Amino acid sequence: MPAERDYDVVLLGATGFTGGLTARYLAAHAPGDLRWAIAGRDTERLRALAAELAGVARRSRPVGALRADVTDPPSMRALAEASRLVATTVGPFQRYGAALVAACARSGTDYVDITGEQEFVDRTWLEHQDEALASGSRLVHCCGFDSVPHDLGVWWTLRHLPADVPLRIRGYVRASAAVSSGTYDSAVRAFGRARQMAVVASQRRRAEHDPSQRYVGSLPAQPHREPVSGRWALPLPTIDPVVVRRSARALPAYGPDFRYGHYAVVGGAGAAAAVVAGTGALLAFSALPPTRAALLRLRRPGRGPTQERRDRSWFRVRFVASVGEDTLPVVTEVAGGDPGYGETAKMLAESAMCLARDDLPGLAGQLTPTQAMGDALVDRLERAGITFRRVEMPQ
């Protein structure tokens, strides 16, 4: 990568809700010698935010402010060529992310985002993997709540498991938080593009070559009771298990036979039935253009809950790992605060600083958070207040 770049990190989307939280986190936690800037379409709002950040940042050099428009490819090329890394919160990524990721892959610029959109991630691999490998660009998607706690949580769990044996791990997600408007928008659009998403995923599977002889697969997607709490758990068809399995295919530490299942803990039987019915209705309405448009109007990206609501929010992901029929499962947990906004901003900012500053494997191309950053990012998140711990299994 060329060393002559104006910035180490540029944050695109800084004037949006989650982008603003990320910018404020960087201002409070970035080292004083990190050259970073914010970017977006609205010059006046950028200047106002840069002035606000100047009062928080631990630095003498002012935070840069760059005008950039995701609908203007030359603007994205200029942005990528100005920085060693670009972090972005501008979604839905299937709609707004293509020009930036293409520019980063072409110019050897590292890239991180907070997408949870599987079709976008697969299209990125199909269209830009070879170019990113050639340029040295690291394209790291899913660096927010999708999918850092799940991907790194399984990775951290491996520390407590024997090596070179078959592993079965189930992730159980619980949270009390307002759903991110960006996540809601992406989910509705993804439900409406289920067929296209399946086609792109199939194209990627056919194109990928896995030279290893290890097996990586899924556990049954069936409702059951979570072993620690006894609450009902339902299959959670997000991008998170896909990311976990991609890390497992890439890294031999997951053993010769690795299988993962991903579930939402919902409580009693009545709550489980309500979730199933609500999800079915959302899927059905999202498939029809008129009702999908109506659903999208209900919540606009760029808005978020109050500080008071975010302060009350939390998440917990428990991982139950089976290592043998005669052995109690190993249980670990990743936990933190507001998942959709505050902690996502923290995860994205720490991922950007990790890629920009830490001693990491010399890889390129599209990578999972664990592939790209692994223990280095775990250490950063623990220092930032996200907990990784082992839980005692009830006898």
Query: Would the pLDDT of 187 be above 90?
Result: no
**What was the pLDDT predicted at 197?**
85
Distance from C-alpha of 314 to C-alpha of 208, rounded to nearest angstrom:
37
**What was the pLDDT predicted at 186?**
67
pLDDT (tens digit per residue) in 62-113: 789 999 999 999 999 999 999 999 999 998 899 999 999 999 999 999 999 9
pLDDT (tens digit per residue) in 351-381: 999 999 999 999 999 999 999 999 999 999 9
**What was the pLDDT predicted at 148?**
98
- 143, 367 in Cβ contact below 8 A? no
Q: State mean pLDDT over 202-221.
A: 88
- For 3, the token pair is 């060393």
Q: State mean pLDDT over 210-222.
A: 87
**What was the pLDDT predicted at 55?**
80
Query: What count of other Cβ atoms lies within 10 Å of the Cβ of residue 55?
Result: 7
Distance from C-alpha of 12 to C-alpha of 99, rounded to nearest angstrom:
13
- How many residues in total does the chain contain? 395
The fold of the 7-145+344-376 domain, in CATH, is Rossmann fold (3.40.50)
- For 196, the token pair is 């296209």
Query: DSSP string covering 277-332, please?
Result: HHHHHHHHHHTSHHHHHHHHHHS-TT----HHHHHH-EEEEEEEEE--TTSPPEEE
- For 76, the token pair is 């994205």
Phi, psi of 354 (to 5 degrees): -60, -50
Residue 92: cis peptide before it, omega within 30 degrees of 0: yes
Distance from C-alpha of 214 to C-alpha of 258, rounded to nearest angstrom:
8
**What was the pLDDT predicted at 284?**
57
**What was the pLDDT predicted at 154?**
98
Distance from C-alpha of 231 to C-alpha of 264, rounded to nearest angstrom:
10
Distance from C-alpha of 13 to C-alpha of 346, rounded to nearest angstrom:
15
Extended beta strands in 55-163, E state: 64-67, 83-88, 110-113, 138-140
- Which residues, 6+ apart, have CB-to-CB distance to 223 below 8 Å? 232, 233, 234, 235, 272
pTM for this model (two decimals): 0.91
Q: Which of 333, 332, 338, 343 shows the shortest CA–CA distance to 384?
A: 343
Q: Where are the domains of the chain?
A: 7-145+344-376, 148-338
- 30, 58 in Cβ contact below 8 A? yes
pLDDT (tens digit per residue) in 263-298: 999 866 565 555 555 555 555 556 667 776 676 666
Q: State mean pLDDT over 319-347.
A: 90
Distance from C-alpha of 174 to C-alpha of 153, rounded to nearest angstrom:
14
The fold of the 148-338 domain, in CATH, is Dihydrodipicolinate Reductase; domain 2 (3.30.360)
Among the ranges given (158-167, 171-180, 193-202, 275-284), the one the predictor scored with the smallest mean pLDDT: 275-284
